[in-house]
């Protein structure tokens, strides 16, 4: 990053902090408490979590200014690369007794002209029925509710999974302590994470939410968009299903 840019952005950040101190007559004890809290976030390994919840949505908002096609959303801290590659019609890896309502998530990947994108990778990951992610919670097998689904010759995919539950930021760490101390809530609405990639196209990172879901209007991470809300209904086979088509820009 060029020095002029570091200078400009770092100075703006510091100006914001200085202004908050003046505006609120911040005292020495409060400054010491803030210092300790910042160190605790580092020691607790919670910087990725904190930054993805409270800051990433604005970075995404700026990136979105130059992006057409499917709306993006934040990546969040729980993406893991190199998951199992799966065919276009598939069930995500899950435990034999995986809890949660089965959900069939289907659709098509197209470019801006409407041409189907064959061989697109839909890298999907989501929380389980308790709101926990594999790889970040004990007792969940590696790769659970994660996978890289490859679209067929017509750009189609049909993924069977289970409905995720809303996610609560861990309340026992420093981020949770801040939320409690400020009397905010710690919840994100239930969501699917997706990264959709195809050669020659701009990768889209997004999240899909569920109509009527709790916390949809007060996401702590401010990462919802009206275009990203799914409204599943019963399929002919009785299972819950929903379709959503992804539109990619050419790179
Ligand atoms: C966080 C968790 C998520 O599942 C998400 O999508 C975004 C942020 C978090 O805890 O920081
Ligand atoms: Fe998430």
Cβ neighbours for 231, distance < 8 A, ≥ 6 positions apart? 210, 211, 212, 242
Is the CB of 164 within 6 Å of ligand 1? no
CA of 170 to the centre of ligand 2 (A): 12
Mutational pocket test of ligand 1: of 51, 55, 76, 175, the residue with most ligand atoms within 8 Å of the beta carbon: 76
Q: Which ligand is nearest to the CA of 74?
A: 1
> pLDDT tens digits, residue range 20-71?
999 999 999 999 999 999 999 999 999 999 999 999 999 999 999 999 999 9
pLDDT level of residue 239 (50, 70, 90 thresholds): very high
Task: Tell me the C-alpha distance between 152 and 196, whole Å.
Answer: 14
Is the CB of 188 within 6 Å of ligand 1? yes
| Cβ atoms within 10 Å of 175's Cβ, excluding its own | 24
> pLDDT tens digits, residue range 178-211?
999 999 999 999 999 999 999 999 999 999 999 9
Q: Which structure tokens are listed for 250?
A: 């050419």
Is the CB of 246 within 6 Å of ligand 1? no
> pLDDT tens digits, residue range 101-142?
999 999 999 999 999 999 999 999 999 999 999 999 999 999
**Exposed, middle or buried: residue 127 (CB in 10 Å: 0-12, 13-18, 19+)?**
buried
Q: CA 223, 228, 233: angle at the middle one, nearest 5?
A: 130
Ligand 1 atom nearest to 51, measured from its CA: 11
Nearest alpha-carbon partner for 188 in 223, 228, 146: 223
Going by DSSP bridges, is the β-strand pair 146-150/85-86 parallel, antiparallel, or unpaired?
A: parallel
């Amino acid at each position: 990053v060029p020095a002029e840019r570091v200078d400009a952005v770092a100075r703006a950040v510091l100006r914001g902090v200085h202004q908050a101190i003046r505006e609120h007559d911040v005292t020495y004890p409060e400054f010491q408490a803030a210092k300790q809290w910042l160190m605790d976030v580092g020691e607790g390994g919670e910087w990725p979590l904190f930054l993805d919840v409270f800051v990433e949505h604005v970075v995404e908002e700026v990136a979105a200014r130059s992006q057409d096609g499917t709306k993006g959303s934040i990546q969040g801290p729980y993406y893991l690369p190199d998951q199992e590659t799966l065919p276009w019609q598939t069930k995500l890896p899950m435990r034999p007794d995986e809890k949660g309502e089965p959900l069939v998530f289907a659709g098509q990947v197209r470019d801006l002209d409407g041409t189907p994108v064959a061989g697109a990778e839909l890298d999907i990951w989501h929380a389980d029925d308790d709101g926990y992610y594999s790889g970040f919670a004990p007792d969940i097998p590696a790769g659970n509710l994660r996978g890289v689904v490859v679209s067929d010759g017509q750009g189609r995919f049909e993924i069977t999974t289970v409905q995720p539950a809303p996610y609560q930021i861990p309340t026992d760490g420093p981020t949770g302590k801040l939320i409690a101390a400020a009397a905010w809530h710690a919840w994100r609405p239930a969501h699917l994470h997706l990264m959709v990639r195809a050669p020659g196209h701009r990768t889209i990172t997004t999240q899909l939410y569920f109509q009527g879901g709790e916390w949809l209007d007060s996401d702590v991470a401010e990462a919802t968009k009206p275009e990203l809300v799914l409204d599943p209904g019963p399929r002919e086979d009785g299972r819950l299903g929903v379709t959503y088509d992804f539109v990619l820009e050419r790179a």
